[in-house]
Amino acid sequence: MNVATCLVLLVTGFGVPFAVLDLSWLAAGRRWPVASERHAENFRPFAVFLALLAGPALFISALWRSVRAGQASMTDCVAGMVIAGAWALCYGVVLLECLAFAGLRLV
């Protein structure tokens, strides 16, 4: 694995989740899941599938909100960026391997 492969993995690992997050935000409108809501049922399909498909983007969005609100220190911000980058790399590997399994090779 070289630098170009890592960059492709990062772009894929962040690009796809942010696209899914934006499309979900447009599709959901006012029905966007909120963490503070209490529900009788434990399984909310939209929130679960959104977390699975747009995890790194949700994590970065939450980190950005905490930084803007002054709730996150610089150490929290750096640790969050490292975690999000590693998560995006793993997610990029999974996505590119799924494409390779389908017969498309990008890297």
Per-residue pLDDT tens for 12-52?
Answer: 999 999 898 888 888 777 666 665 556 555 566 777 787 78
Q: Where do the domains of the chain lie?
A: 3-32+41-101
- The whole-number average pLDDT for the span 52-77 is 88
13-16, long-range: CB < 8 A, 24+ apart: 13/56, 13/87, 13/88, 13/89, 13/90, 13/91, 13/92, 13/93, 13/95, 14/56, 14/57, 14/60, 14/88, 16/91, 16/95
CA distance 36 to 47: 13
d(CA 100, CA 95): 9
**Mean confidence (pLDDT) of the chain:** 83
Q: What is the pTM of this model?
A: 0.75
Q: What integer pLDDT is reported at residue 44 of this predicted model?
A: 66
Predicted pLDDT at 83: 93
How high is the pLDDT of residue 39? 57
For residue 35, the SS3 value is: coil
Whether 81 has a pLDDT exceeding 80, the answer reads yes
